Amino acid sequence: MSHFGPATAERARELVSLYPEPRSALIPLCHLAQEQDGWLRPEAMDEIADLLGITPAEVRGTATFYDMLHTEPVGRYLVSICTNIACLLGGADALLEHAESRLGVRPGGTTADGLFTLEEAECLADCDRTPCVTVNHRYVGGLDAGAFDRLLDELRGGRRDDEIPPHGTLVRVRRNGRLRVATEQVARERAAAAEARAARAEAAQARAADNQAAPGGKAQG
Amino acid sequence: MAVTDAPRIVTSRLRFDDSYTIGRYLATGGYEGLRKALGMTPEAVAAEVDAASLLGRGGAGFPAGRKWSMLRKDPVTYLVINGDESEPATFKDHLLIERDPHQLLEGVLIAAYALQVTQAFIYVRGEFALGLERLTSALNEAYDHGAVGADIFGSGFSVDVVVHPGAGAYICGEETALLESLEGKRGFPRIKPPFFPAAIGLYGQPTVVNNVETMSNLPWIVLHGGKAFAELGGGRSAGTRLFALAGHVKRPGTYEVEMVKTTFRDLVYAPVYGGGVSGGRAVKAFIPGGVSAPWFGPEHLDLPLGQDEVGNAGSMLGSGAITVMDSSTCAVRAAWRITKFFARESCGQCTPCREGAGWLERVLRRIEFGGGREDDLELLLDVSDNIAPGLQWPPQQTTICVLGPSIPSSIHSAIAMFRDEFLVHVKEGGCPVA
């Protein structure tokens, strides 16, 4: 009764295999679930918990910490408008206001047709093109009101679909294969390192004991 | 001297449209630094980086070589690259990841060899969708090229690299929060000490965490020698550095400039850099190193772009983000927006930060929107003083990480520099400039 389809499940197993501890795959798996469903459904969080050997509450508790992981449905296009310092100086407040009236929603809201979710974003690190706007995390340049309206038209008409996949698809390039360094080699190195550390700790302890046994020894040394 | 003829160390390929492909990379000397490093001992590679006096380019400016040498005694288990660039108005790692991902990878592989680690993780800010795609493609190409994986370039050295996406949280740029996030948890910074994850890092194992720009410098340093790098710049600030120039300038952008020999004025006004203030207005104030940094006024424009020079003047170069505010800027609104950011991004672990940021944001908002009171200024400073006692620079720490004590920077600066403007907001309910 897998919530993930066969292809998604296969990719999930690949992701888990990249990390020394399964739980490290939590965020990548949440992105994967959003790619399948458009948002992070409770069923997906249950399945991720199973894959990682943790509880659904731990998945949810972690996922809700991160802005990009949506535990409520979002529109096909997540329109993010940055209003942080560089964009503020570039007129972002006016653009956000314009976007609100054009889309008829406040930040956080989704249009009735399910097409757009508007978001007031923090700095998106593209500060030489302000006000910075992204759609599904793809940069669409610094926009004025007219350019913003044209963007909405293009998105509605599906004319930007090659460049901007539906919300949830973050990375369209897949890693080519699994880890290459033999796990036995990694394990051998780890064991040797742990042994070296333990030996050093033991030696340090012995030195400390010696110093205690011979008061003033440290000062003389 | 406004513009020096220092070489472009990390931006040499950006003039090519296909700068991110392995074809262009190999045609422009790519992976030669790694080949050279593999012919040296790991200790010799580390010694070159030490000789370069390369200060970490993330924000704290800790010497990269020393970060590594803390681990000489103990074998390092993991190398983790911090690509979670999210300090507001900072957009230089974004550029390096998107436009020259192979250079970053080569730097990571050189560091992995010097530290003798077999696993490296590159944590990339989740919002960098294109950057993640380019870096993943580059990694695939590098594996096919034999530069990553088992027995790289036939050297006997093996290493795997994993590109790991974040999911939107400013705090994950703090290195211990980043490690927590990489372990699949909330980005809660860890209690210090240890002050560096050197001893207890990823999964409790010895770990080196380095920034993207720091890594991107390594191919050049190995090829040309640490000494050549150290000869650039001045004082403790060696080499060139990327500065992200934004706000009210004619040509905002990321510029690689020689440290110390270049000043803020050069960066803002030189035609090849900022080209002057937009609209020809005057500089009202500028933020020299990301929004965690105290502001400077026009009297500081002639300060050199050096870590100690800026530190001694009471602020920091921080993340290398320089934001110019011209005479039309409302200081209250700027301080309010920055504080709103911190209030949103506080992870919530420590009371002074979690509660303080929210209160400061609300008080600033009421001043900006005409509901302020005259004693609000003292209230702002008092709450700020509770987060960072004494309001000195560098700030005193009351919280697990530096996010909290960074909150007062812009508020304290704005009130100290533009008290009259705050008072007009309070008394007249409106802004005298905007």
Q: Nearest CA of chain B to the CA of A168: how many Å? A: 11
Contact B252 A85 (CB under 8 A): no
Q: Nearest CA of chain A to the CA of B126: how many Å? A: 8
CA separation for the pair A62, B181 (Å, rounded): 9
| Tens-place pLDDT, residues B71-95 | 666 677 899 999 999 999 999 999 9
Contact B132 A171 (CB under 8 A): yes
**In sequence order, what are the beta bridge partners of B263?**
B304
How far from B368 is each of A3, A84, B230, CA to CA, in Å? 49, 16, 47
Residues 6+ apart with CB under 8 A from B389: B396, B398
Q: Give CA B7 to chain center in angstroms.
A: 21
Q: pLDDT tier at A217 (50, 70, 90 boundaries)?
A: very low
Q: What is the mean pLDDT of residues B178-184?
A: 98
Q: Nearest CA of chain B to the CA of A99: how many Å? A: 19
**In sequence order, what are the beta bridge partners of B326?**
B283
Largest CA distance in chain A: 84
Which residues of chain A make contact with B139, given a CB cutoff of 8 A?
A: 175-176
**What strands lie across the sheet with A132-135, from one edge to the other?**
A116-121, A77-82, A132-135, A138-142
Which tokens hold the place of A121?
């974003």
Q: Nearest CA of chain A to the CA of B91: how many Å? A: 4
Contact B119 A186 (CB under 8 A): yes
B77, B85, B127, B170: best mutation site toward chain A, by most A Cβ within 10 Å?
B127
Contact B183 A24 (CB under 8 A): yes
CA separation for the pair B79, B198 (Å, rounded): 10
Q: Nearest CA of chain B to the CA of A198: how many Å? A: 10
Contact B143 A177 (CB under 8 A): yes
How far from B34 is each of B20, B66, B122, B409, CA to CA, in Å? 18, 21, 18, 41
Q: Give CA A169 to chain center in angstroms.
A: 12
| Tens-place pLDDT, residues B375-434 | 999 999 999 999 999 999 999 999 999 999 999 999 999 999 999 999 999 999 989 887
Q: Nearest CA of chain A to the CA of B129: how many Å? A: 6
Contact B126 A68 (CB under 8 A): yes
Q: What is the pLDDT of residue B411?
A: 98
**In sequence order, what are the beta bridge partners of A135?**
A79, A138
Which tokens hold the place of A48?
């991720």
| Tens-place pLDDT, residues A83-99 | 999 999 999 999 999 99
Its sign, for the CA torsion B230, B232, B235, B240, is negative
pTM for this prediction: 0.95
Whether pLDDT at B197 is above 80? no
Which residues of chain A make contact with B123, given a CB cutoff of 8 A?
A: none
Its sign, for the CA torsion A180, A184, A185, A187, is positive
Q: What is the pLDDT of residue A218?
A: 43
| Tens-place pLDDT, residues B292-350 | 999 999 999 999 999 999 999 999 999 999 999 999 999 999 999 999 999 999 999 99
| Tens-place pLDDT, residues A137-195 | 999 999 999 999 999 999 999 999 999 999 999 999 999 989 999 888 888 887 877 78
Whether pLDDT at A119 is above 70? yes
CA separation for the pair B267, A136 (Å, rounded): 33
Whether pLDDT at A220 is above 50? no
Share of chain B above pLDDT 70, in %: 99
Contact with chain B for residue A18, Cβ under 8 A: yes
For the A6-63 domain, the top CATH level (class) is mainly alpha
Q: What is the mean pLDDT of residues A21-34?
A: 98
**In sequence order, what are the beta bridge partners of A117?**
A78, A110
Which residues of chain B make contact with A180, given a CB cutoff of 8 A?
A: 143, 148-150, 158, 160
Which residues of chain B make contact with A172, given a CB cutoff of 8 A?
A: 133
Classify burial at A32, counting beta carbons within 10 Å of its beta carbon; exposed 0-12, middle 13-18, buried 19 or more.
buried
Question: Domains of chain B by range and CATH?
Answer: 22-230 (3.40.50.11540), 237-326 (3.10.20.600), 331-428 (1.20.1440.230)
Q: Do domains A6-63 and A77-156 have the same CATH topology?
A: no
Residue of A nearest to B329 (CA): A89
Contact A186 B118 (CB under 8 A): yes
Which residues of chain A make contact with B125, given a CB cutoff of 8 A?
A: 125
B197-200 contacts at long range (C-beta below 8 A, 24 or more positions apart): B197/B80, B198/B67, B198/B70, B198/B71, B198/B74, B199/B74
CA separation for the pair A158, A164 (Å, rounded): 9
The residue ranges of every structural domain in chain A are 6-63, 77-156, 183-213
Residue of A nearest to B292 (CA): A85
CATH code of the region A77-156? 3.40.30.10
| Tens-place pLDDT, residues A32-91 | 999 999 999 999 999 999 999 999 999 999 999 999 999 999 999 999 999 999 999 999
Q: What is the pLDDT of residue A219?
A: 41
Tell me how crowded residue B243 is: count the other CB atoms within 10 A of its CB: 26
Q: What is the pLDDT of residue B47?
A: 94
Mean pLDDT score across all residues of chain B: 95
Residues 105-164, chain A, touching B (beta carbon < 8 A): 122-128, 130, 134, 136-139
